[in-house]
Chain A
Amino acid sequence: MEDIQEILEDFLVEAFELIEQLDQNLVELESNPDDLELLNSIFRVAHTIKGSSSFLNFNILTQLTHHMEDVLNKARHGDLKLTPEVMDVVLESIDLMKTLLHAIRDNGDDTSIGLDITDICRRLDVISNGEDVAEVIHQSAEETTAPVAADENADYSKLSDQEVEEEIERLLKMRKEEDRKRKEGHAKESAAPAPVAPTPSAAPSFAGLGDHDESEEAPVEKTTAKRNGGESNNAPAKKESASTMEQTIRVEVKRLDHLMNLIGELVLGKNRLLKIYDDVEERYEGEKFLEELNQVVSSISLVTTDLQIAVMKTRMLPIAKVFNKFPRMVRDLSRELGKQIELEISGEETELDKSIVEEIGDPLVHIIRNSCDHGIEDAASRRAKGKPEMGLIQLKAYNEGNHIVIEITDDGKGLDADLLRSKAIEKGMISEREADAMSDKEAFSLIFRPSLSTAKVVTNVSGRGVGMDVVKTNIEKLNGIIDVDSELGRGTVIKLKIPLTLAIIQALLVGAQEEYYAIPLASVLETVRIPLDEIYTIEGKNVLRLRDEVLSLVRLSDIFGVKQVYEGGEHTYVVVIGLAESKLGVVVDTLVGQEEIVIKSLGDYLQGIEGIAGATIRGDGRVTLIVDVAALMNLAKGITVDIRATAETTVKTKSVPSDYVVLAVDDSAMDRNIMKKSMEPIGVTVIEASNGQEALNMLKSAEYSIDAVLIDIEMPRMDGYTLAGEIRKYSKYKNLPLIAVTSRTSKSDRLRGVESGMSEYITKPYSPEYLESVVRKNIKL
């Protein structure tokens, strides 16, 4: 029993791989009917599946594939010409075969779904007997028993029902008779060579490393012949397939996921190590061990990066996996719509993470359907416009940095920006004013709004206004960007830009006041530094004129309710983020830089917080939250804070001298008293700390708003230089006056003071008046 189960699993894995390639080959065959090599490989697929299914007692499947085999065999020997009508029937029978295989996978047998195959078998027989196929197809289309609606031409309705019925009756009887005889003969034949186990060598399995869903059910590790997925559909020369065979191994996706998680941890460790190295380098400059440490750190970081790439690569699948189904789809659509459409695919060898490959299929289906239905015109109107009758859709994939770009180009009628505008106004999506302000490009992006369709008629292909909305949501889920460009009458180009992988991403780290956030770099278009007075307010919204575009602005600290602790300067940074087709300027206080981050979930307890996609652990061990760009754009809509006005009002105004606070840091109580006395005439509030650590804690706690610090250099626990360095690490204390008060007078000491970030240097002993004047000068009193 176990054995059978195992064989069954093997059979299914193999069968699904085979039929995936089959579709591709068949469509190619239609345009290239004399390619014997192609025909042979298709025949072998049908034959292999037939053999295996009869061994496993799937009678319906066996019967179906047997009939297909007959037709293909005739075609192979040149007894039969493969016309589009014949192909329709063959393709339909392959669809049925797929349905049966799915049923076997789900239910364990091919009978429970009750698929009726007698009709299709009969049509296959008709073909293999070399009769006029078109006629028979018309007749059978009349019969509604066919589980899949047959393709039909317009003229069959001219036959009278009576005639058709009679003809069918007659043919049926004859076929059945013949069929039975032949089958008996065949049964004897095929019984002779004993049960044939599905051997992988019978036909090379085509789909390379491809683990698709089905194979997860068969965690059997076995080697299988692999062919490079890329070259499969353009080269008629299939002979080199033997030489390009590679050894492969099937691995459960779960194991790869686990491996990926471990790599994630390693990357975090690496980041941490780099950070520590930087700190150590600063502290022990010029020491000999630094050299060694440097070597180790760099080699570990190099190996980690390589390892990460290697593991990522194991999860990569050629995009051909998705692209393969499109030739068939376009073929069917073009027949259904009565248009002539050619699909040109390039770059199908481009590789993508498995999880992304799974997500990208649906959006592409919608885009291509749209191009076929709305983009490409029918032959007559194309001719009238002086275009070739055959419409062309190009599907192109290529790498661009850490992204893959998928381009769908059609040479159809293009998008009409004005029509889109008026439709959107009609549906109440935008106001007329908004429509007027819209650039053509912005108008194109209206096609992604739900329930907007420019189609005059809803066909069963498209026009309901759902598809493109799906495209947008799915691409956003992958952190991708959509770009639409179109020229009326000339065609449309839709570009999808998608990150290569999801677990480890490049991010831009930004600071909002004292907090840091990571923005996926895939969504960052550019960063600019602007003076505050370039921000304008229109209807309560902040906008910025960036080159020839008007960009709405929102402050990151307003979205996330970050506590306002200090004012920015006259300039501010704007990170322009783009997702799918919309753009937004995010005002941040600091730009930290680009970093490779590992996405971690916040866990069940904090799941689904709006605006946060996850968290990552930085080199210093701190947690940094990752911005969910799509949600951020939504949140931004609800925020109406006048950025310029709030930036101009100070956090807290200080009017009298006693509002000012000076922190005196010295380990000697007497020295602190002298400082205090010296400052009495100014009238400022003086607070004290006895060492660097204590002072730092006071600054960190934000209990006081400190205006200046007097620092002694020699102190226990943390000396004055270190303290100054630590203070300067806080962006809000970048301009805080730090006044060194020390008996160290040498030039090198002074230099060190400047390096560590001291703003003034007073040597002991000093006159009280001198200290007073220095403090006054620094706090501007």
Chain B
Amino acid sequence: MNDKLNQILQKQQKQIEEPQKKEDDVVQLVGFIIGQEEYAVPILSIQEIIKPIEYTRVPSVPNYILGVFNLRGSVIPLIDLRSKFKMDPSKVTEETRYIVMKGKDNTAGFVIDRLTEAIRIKSSRIGPPPETIHAEKGLVYGIGMRDENILTILKVEALLKRDF
């Protein structure tokens, strides 16, 4: 009886220790589509995801900044990732969403074409960004390899940094 109990206890102890190790290796992301490609950002940097709402244009800013919108009383900038990545503009569809991301000192909403899913990926499967990407230069954290496709993981702090 005592042996058994010890075994169980040991097992529990192991379980407590192991997941931590595992979680260190796994990165949790939220995936979304812009244009043809799938991108992802760390789940913890996302404040919320909302359906498109009305926004107000702001003058004399680069064209990828669509304007500002009202998120429950806060005025938040809205950035179009399509035009930031120099893709052709598209219309707002039923699946368009605003992802509100929160950084150290900034919060901003980003327009994406469609959400995909929450993703868990081992950090060993994330490679460095390829050197060929121009428009997204500096914004890419790495490339995530998945069984069926690859993911471009974006750097949130870089996205939220004012670059004009």
Q: Give chain A's interface residues, CB within 8 Å of chain B.
A: 265, 268, 515, 559-562, 600-606, 609-612, 615, 617, 621-625
Q: Which residues of B contact A605 (CB under 8 A)?
A: 77, 106, 108, 160, 162
Q: Which residues of B contact A621 (CB under 8 A)?
A: 54, 70
In the complex, how many residues of chain B place their beta carbon closer than 8 angstroms to a beta carbon of chain A?
24
Interface string of B65-82 (1 = CB under 8 A from A): 101111001111100000
Q: Which residues of A contact B162 (CB under 8 A)?
A: 604-606
Closest 9 CB pairs of A and B: A560-B59, A623-B56, A615-B75, A605-B77, A600-B75, A605-B106, A623-B68, A623-B70, A617-B70
Contact B75 A617 (CB under 8 A): yes
Q: Given the complex of chains A and B, what is the CA–CA distance between A609 and B164 in angstroms?
A: 11
Beyond A562-B59, A602-B75, A622-B56, 12 extra complex contacts between A and B, CB < 8 Å: A560-B60, A562-B57, A603-B107, A605-B106, A611-B60, A612-B58, A612-B59, A617-B73, A623-B55, A623-B69, A625-B58, A625-B59
Q: Would you mind naming 18 contact pairs between A and B with Cβ atoms under 8 Å apart?
A: A515-B57, A559-B59, A560-B59, A562-B57, A602-B75, A603-B75, A603-B77, A603-B106, A605-B77, A606-B58, A606-B61, A606-B162, A612-B58, A615-B56, A623-B56, A623-B67, A624-B56, A625-B59
Q: Given the complex of chains A and B, what is the CA–CA distance between A319 and B141 in angstroms?
A: 56
Contact of A561 with B58 at beta-carbon distance under 8 Å, contacts A604-B162, A615-B68, A617-B73 already known: no
Q: Given the complex of chains A and B, what is the CA–CA distance between A331 and B31 in angstroms?
A: 73
Q: Does B105 contact A (CB under 8 A)?
A: yes
Contact B70 A609 (CB under 8 A): no
Contact A622 B58 (CB under 8 A): no
Contact A606 B56 (CB under 8 A): no
Contact A602 B60 (CB under 8 A): no
Interface string of B98-138 (1 = CB under 8 A from A): 00000001111000000000000000000000000000000
Q: Which residues of A contact B107 (CB under 8 A)?
A: 603
Contact A622 B75 (CB under 8 A): no
Q: Given the complex of chains A and B, what is the CA–CA distance between A624 and B56 in angstroms?
A: 7
Q: Given the complex of chains A and B, what is the CA–CA distance between A447 and B150 in angstroms?
A: 67
Q: Which residues of B contact A617 (CB under 8 A)?
A: 70, 73, 75
A275 to chain B: closest CB distance in Å?
Answer: 13
Q: Given the complex of chains A and B, what is the CA–CA distance between A559 and B68 in angstroms?
A: 19
Contact B73 A265 (CB under 8 A): yes
Tell me the B83-109 residues at the A interface (CB within 8 Å).
105-108
Contact B106 A623 (CB under 8 A): no
Q: Given the complex of chains A and B, what is the CA–CA distance between A265 and B70 in angstroms?
A: 13
Chain A residue nearest to B57 in the complex (CB): A515
B158 to chain A: closest CB distance in Å?
Answer: 13
Q: Which residues of A contact B68 (CB under 8 A)?
A: 602, 606, 615, 623, 625
Chain B residue nearest to A610 in the complex (CB): B60
Q: Given the complex of chains A and B, what is the CA–CA distance between A560 and B59 in angstroms?
A: 5
Contact B60 A561 (CB under 8 A): yes
Q: Which residues of B contact A610 (CB under 8 A)?
A: 60
Q: Which residues of B contact A268 (CB under 8 A)?
A: 73
Q: Give chain B's interface residues, CB within 8 Å of chain A.
A: 54-61, 65, 67-70, 73-77, 105-108, 160, 162
Q: Given the complex of chains A and B, what is the CA–CA distance between A335 and B68 in angstroms?
A: 57
Q: Given the complex of chains A and B, what is the CA–CA distance between A602 and B60 in angstroms?
A: 14
Q: Given the complex of chains A and B, what is the CA–CA distance between A561 and B57 in angstroms?
A: 10
A604 to chain B: closest CB distance in Å?
Answer: 5
Contact A602 B70 (CB under 8 A): no
Q: Which residues of B contact A615 (CB under 8 A)?
A: 56, 68, 75
B43 to chain A: closest CB distance in Å?
Answer: 22
Contact A606 B65 (CB under 8 A): yes
Q: Which of A560, A606, A612 lies at the interface centre, i.e. has the most chain B CB atoms within 10 A of its CB?
A: A606
B133 to chain A: closest CB distance in Å?
Answer: 23
Q: Which residues of A contact B106 (CB under 8 A)?
A: 603-605
Contact B56 A625 (CB under 8 A): yes
A262 to chain B: closest CB distance in Å?
Answer: 11
Contact B61 A609 (CB under 8 A): yes
Q: Given the complex of chains A and B, what is the CA–CA distance between A605 and B75 in angstroms?
A: 11
Chain A residue nearest to B91 in the complex (CB): A701
> Which of the residues B54, B60, B76, B160 comes within 8 Å of A609, measured between beta carbons?
B60
> Which of the residues A265, A561, A601 comes within 8 Å of B75, measured between beta carbons?
A601
Q: Given the complex of chains A and B, what is the CA–CA distance between A265 and B58 in angstroms?
A: 22
Q: Given the complex of chains A and B, what is the CA–CA distance between A515 and B65 in angstroms?
A: 16
Chain B residue nearest to A608 in the complex (CB): B162
Q: Given the complex of chains A and B, what is the CA–CA distance between A623 and B54 in angstroms?
A: 9
Q: Which of B55, B56, B77 lies at the interface centre, i.e. has the most chain A CB atoms within 10 A of its CB?
A: B56
Chain A residue nearest to B162 in the complex (CB): A605
Q: Given the complex of chains A and B, what is the CA–CA distance between A621 and B73 in angstroms?
A: 8
Chain A residue nearest to B107 in the complex (CB): A603
Q: Given the complex of chains A and B, what is the CA–CA distance between A42 and B156 in angstroms?
A: 62
Q: Given the complex of chains A and B, what is the CA–CA distance between A611 and B61 in angstroms?
A: 12
Q: Given the complex of chains A and B, what is the CA–CA distance between A609 and B58 in angstroms?
A: 9
Chain A residue nearest to B55 in the complex (CB): A623
Q: Which residues of B contact A265 (CB under 8 A)?
A: 73
Q: Which residues of B contact A559 (CB under 8 A)?
A: 59
Q: Which residues of B contact A609 (CB under 8 A)?
A: 58-61
A542 to chain B: closest CB distance in Å?
Answer: 20
Q: Which residues of B contact A600 (CB under 8 A)?
A: 74-75
A620 to chain B: closest CB distance in Å?
Answer: 9
A8 to chain B: closest CB distance in Å?
Answer: 36
Contact of A602 with B77 at beta-carbon distance under 8 Å, contacts A622-B70, A623-B70 already known: yes
Chain A residue nearest to B105 in the complex (CB): A604
Q: Given the complex of chains A and B, what is the CA–CA distance between A176 and B59 in angstroms?
A: 73
Q: Given the complex of chains A and B, what is the CA–CA distance between A622 and B54 in angstroms?
A: 7
Q: Given the complex of chains A and B, what is the CA–CA distance between A265 and B73 in angstroms?
A: 7
Q: Given the complex of chains A and B, what is the CA–CA distance between A561 and B77 in angstroms?
A: 18
Q: Which of A562, A603, A622 lies at the interface centre, i.e. has the most chain B CB atoms within 10 A of its CB?
A: A603
Chain B residue nearest to A514 in the complex (CB): B57
Q: Which residues of A contact B74 (CB under 8 A)?
A: 600
Chain A residue nearest to B56 in the complex (CB): A623
Q: Given the complex of chains A and B, what is the CA–CA distance between A615 and B73 in angstroms?
A: 11
Contact A603 B76 (CB under 8 A): yes
